[in-house]
Chains A and B, each alone.
Chain A
Amino acid sequence: MSDENLTPEAPVTGQGRMDVAWGANTGDEHPDEVQRASTPQSGEIFEQLYTPWTGQLNPRWMRNWSILRHHLLGIFKKGHRPWTMPTRIFILIAFLASLSDAGMTLLSGLVGSSEFHSLFGVSRDNLYGHVLGFFPRNVLYYPIVAALLVGGVISEDRQHGTSALYFSRPISRFDYVGMKFLSVAMIQALVVLITYVLYFLAEVVAFGRGWAWMVDIFPMFLAGMIAGLLLIFTYTSIGLSLSSVSTGRFFPGIGLLAIVFGTKTLASIVKNLFEREILYLISPYDCVAHVGQALIGTQTTYDQYSWTYSLVALVAMNALALYVLASRVASMEVTRE
């Protein structure tokens, strides 16, 4: 803009406004430069394209397998159910600690001491002890593993609303709860039963046991396996029922521990004070232990009533837990939670 245009006598042309609107340059630029400035190169940063899919969906077993896989693989790697790091670490610790008798058996085989072997090697009492021994396994390992696992399995679906993700898909409530139950039970089985099998194999390897020994011991081994399954089933059903009535992972975990240890402690106090054992029937651990003692054939530590009472109590407490679990899962919503 030339200086004479700024004098008061200059005509009003609107040029000033145009300069403000379009810039303060002189207008003598190269035409190409102007062209580049006014229309920038267009590029596609995001192109929204809907891609159809014509694949086939697999049947029910594949959907159920995906739930199981999601929970099981979550223990080992990312991208599946995000189990918390303390849970993973504790499972590893419990797994290694549960292998202590296998390690001692291998050691006794190497040392060649029969006294050492009688303490730690495979026997009726030691098979019972691996699965149902109270200290340390059912104080420090198995109930805590169960508590860490069941804590958020169902409650977090309520908390985060992820139940809608399941039930708006062709997943039935039975399949949902069944696969959750199975996955929690399988992770516990990794700690309780896989280590039990490894213990048995350690004896075979360390002492070169033959088929005759294996066939001889097998009924005991199988009884221990069944006792372990009972223990896992009981902890899982009680834990999941607590998880189904909660919206956080703390209450179900602490609730399971409170039930397992609270009932046991109460029954122990009553026994010590009044010499009455009947209260052990409300303790899940003691009921499983009593039935397990009968199954494996080791000496019973409950003298005042038959193991069948414990079995009935065990069935009753599992039935109650499964009833609560089923009714609470049936009430889980799709449209809102």
Chain B
Amino acid sequence: MADEPIIQTKSLTKAYGPHVALENLNINIPRGATGLLGQNGAGKSTFLKTILGLIQATSGEGTVLGYDIRNQGVEIRQRIGYMPEYDALNPDMDAIHQVRYSGELLGMNPVVAMNRAHEALQFVGMGEQRYREIGSFSTGMKQATKLACAIIHDPDLLIADEPSNGLDMKAREFMISTLNTMVNDANRSILMASHLMDDVERVCENIILLHKGTLAAQGKIEDLKAIDREIEIHVWGGATPLEQRLLDQGFRVRREGRVMRIAHTREDTTTSILQAAADVGAQIRRMHEYEASLEDLFLAIMDNLGYSVKSSDDLLKSPIEARRVDAPESLGGGAA
């Protein structure tokens, strides 16, 4: 049971008329923390709505915590906690009553809901502020209150949509550590959609990358990173001839000034780099295996998909451009 995926889809497809939002998704999300990545319009929201049982899939099937997404949406939503990205709190209510009400909406009786609201708010670091009106809260406090609303019934799976979005450094650290506590100490599972690669990497063990409604990558972050191993060298003098020599030898080279990263795809990569440097007379002053970040992994995957982007921000934080990518051609989309 423990090894069974908490979310599983088979050939899941969702189409809105001619526009296919999700196409033939075969996803297995294990217990633990999983990051859901993808540019705007990639299908993340549609995927979340589908697994919450809020919209019917056009074809295919799926389960969440063992419940069928096609006809057991109520059971699913009773057992998961959903923390929305956008404001979902009444600014005229105080936090304790807002969280209690969210528990009551799940079917808790008012007394139990009030007790749990106190526990949940304590967990997310809301002390006396819980008696203040939400309208006077900072973004961090609102995020914490949303998290408390989502975990009031101690769900097996927390779906957190951009949990650290818009937070200052301190609040962001606290949110990340809270999510980590849920995963590591409380042994709960999290599906975390985020634009912030660092945060995903710090919380999640696995990722799912959606692109234009299709599955671009899924698996453990460590395993995926291993696909894209690189050797980083710092070159003094002759960097351009060295780069050219390595390219001529069939290596994939990324260069930023004197720093080059060469794809570590062959047994003799290190020797070849040193030999090439000796041949062109370049000095290699530093050489080490480069540990890719999730950002690098994302860029590598997007590169493989044919996108030329410098950072995830280009795609993830540019809604107009991103929408152009995913919109049907009849609506002016199709170009990156």
Contact = CB atoms under 8 A, between A and B. Distances in A.
B54 A79 contact: no
Contacts of B316: none
Interface string B40-51: 000001001100
A63 B178 contact: no
Interface in B207-248: none
Interface in A162-214: 162-172
- Overall SS of chain A's interface: loop
A336 B88 contact: no
A55 B112 contact: yes
B90 A164 contact: no
A79 B122 CA distance: 19
B182 interface: yes
Contacts of A163: 88
A37 interface: no
Contacts of B186: 50, 52
Nearest to B124: A48
Contacts, number: 128
B86 A48 contact: no
A334 B101 contact: no
Given A58-B107, A169-B105, A334-B54, A48 B123 contact: yes
Contact of A168 (B77, B109, B110, B178): B77
A162 B92 CA distance: 12
A57 B88 CA distance: 22
Interface string B171-195: 0000001100110011010000000
A336 B193 CA distance: 13
A164 B45 CA distance: 13
A335 B48 contact: yes
B260 to A, nearest CB: 41
A156 B91 CA distance: 10
A172 to B, nearest CB: 8
Given A55-B112, A57-B108, A334-B49, A160 B85 contact: no
A66 interface: yes
A276 interface: no
> For B45, B84, B86, which residue has the most chain A Cβ atoms within 10 angstroms?
B84
Given A161-B86, A162-B88, A334-B84, A49 B123 contact: yes
Contacts of A62: 107, 109
Interface in B56-94: 73-75, 77-78, 82, 84-94
Contacts of B54: 167, 334
Given A82-B92, A156-B90, A160-B91, A171 B105 contact: yes
Interface in B148-191: 149, 153-154, 161, 177-178, 181-182, 185-186, 188
B82 A70 contact: no
B78 A166 contact: no
A46 B174 CA distance: 12
Given A62-B107, A168-B52, A170-B107, A48 B90 contact: no
A135 interface: no
B1 to A, nearest CB: 17
Contact of A160 (B52, B90, B101, B177): B90
Interface in B80-136: 82, 84-94, 97, 100-102, 104-110, 112, 116, 119, 122-123, 125, 127
Contacts of B94: 79
Contact of A164 (B86, B101, B109, B127): B86
B182 A82 contact: no
B45 A160 contact: no
A53 B152 CA distance: 8
A57 B107 contact: yes
Contact of A63 (B90, B93, B106, B161): B106
A63 B107 contact: yes
Give me the 10 closest cross-chain CB pairs, A-B, nearest first.
A66-B104, A168-B82, A57-B107, A53-B154, A82-B92, A50-B186, A58-B107, A335-B45, A170-B74, A164-B88
16 contacts: A48-B177, A50-B182, A51-B123, A53-B116, A53-B153, A54-B154, A57-B107, A57-B108, A79-B100, A161-B89, A164-B84, A169-B78, A169-B82, A335-B45, A335-B161, A336-B85
Given A49-B123, A53-B116, A162-B90, 14 more contacts: A48-B123, A51-B119, A57-B153, A63-B107, A66-B105, A160-B91, A164-B82, A165-B102, A166-B105, A169-B82, A170-B74, A334-B52, A335-B45, A335-B49
Interface of A: 46, 48-55, 57-60, 62-63, 66-67, 69-70, 78-80, 82, 156, 160-172, 334-337
